[in-house]
Structure 1
Amino acid sequence: MSYRRILPIEFCHCDPAGIVFYPRYVEMAQHVVENYFTEVLETPFSQMVAAGQGVPAARLEFDFRKPSRLGDRLEWVLQVEHIGRSSIRFLLNAEDRLEARITVVWIGEGFVPAPLPDPVRKRLQAHHVQGATAPGDGR
């Protein structure tokens, strides 16, 4: 199962030529992940931060395939590719423009990796893409 979100390309995302400046894609991907946590996992970032928890990114991989321009509307698709003990790897696609993998790590008190809480893990498992694995992610 996948999560979808449409994001418009606005002036703030673009360079003077009207093309998305690549670091803005990272911000957009983070926006999709954050909203996935709120809408699907029922665990808003504000709730995590208030509890001294969080999910900082531990790894970012982006393959840029085609530029996006001011006024475009990109449909982002997020899939749960891997669930570890304390990590989650998301696969994101923004149409034919880019593919990204973002690995986040659940941190608990003291800002150290902690096991994913059971309610979060169960919701993640319902959205996990079976058979998708990448080497080197054993957390």
Structure 2
Amino acid sequence: MTFEMKQKVLFKHCDPAGIVFFPRYFEMMNDCVETFFSEVLEWPFEEFIGREGVPTAAIETRFTAPSLHGDHLVIALDVEHVGRTSFTYRMTAWCGDEKRFETKARLVFVNDSGRPQPWPEAIRAKLEAALEPAA
């Protein structure tokens, strides 16, 4: 199951040349993850952040083309692996037929001391249901 989020490139995302400043892409990625948690897992960040968290443990990103102020991106998230305390996703952003970035990241579910803990069963089941089918 691919989760998609639309994102218009706003003035706040851009450098003075009107091109997305690369750290802003990471904010967009996190917005997509947070929206995925709300809409797919039905577990909004505001319900658990503070007591628990989902920090990014690893991320690898490739920027393939610049995005400009006013572009309309579609950011797609695919769950690739669900572990006991983490999950790995692949995310790709497109503007029309042109890929703008691709990233792979692993999030870890942690307690209030920052230690990994198992996913709640209901959340784990939803993550597994969202797993990308094996090729």
Deviations 1:76-126 (A, max 9, x none): 110001111101111100011110112110012422100111101100111
1:100 is aligned to 103
Q: How far has the Cα of 1:30 moved from its partner?
A: 0.3
2:45 counterpart residue number: 45
- For the pair 1:116 / 2:109, whether they are aligned, the reply is no
Distance 2:30 2:64 in 1: 19
Aligned-partner SS, 2:48:
helix
**Equivalent residue number for residue 10 of structure 2:** 10
- What percentage of residue pairs aligned between the two structures are identical? 41
Question: Mapping of 1:24-39 within 5 angstroms?
Answer: 24-39=24-39
Mapping for residues 47-126 of structure 1, pairs under 5 Å? 47-50=47-50, 52-95=51-94, 96-126=99-129
Normalised to the residue count of structure 2, the TM-score between the two structures is 0.93
The CA RMSD measured in Å over matched residues stands at 1.2
| Alignment gaps of 5+ in structure 1 | 133-139
Q: Which amino acid aligns with 1:126?
A: A
- Give the SS at the match of 1:97: strand
- Could you list the runs of 5+ residues in structure 2 that have no partner in the other structure? none
Q: Which amino acid aligns with 2:10?
A: E
CA–CA distance in structure 1, aligned partners of residues 68 and 75 of structure 2? 15
Q: Secondary structure at the match of 1:104?
A: strand
Residue 37 of structure 2 aligns to a residue in which SS?
helix
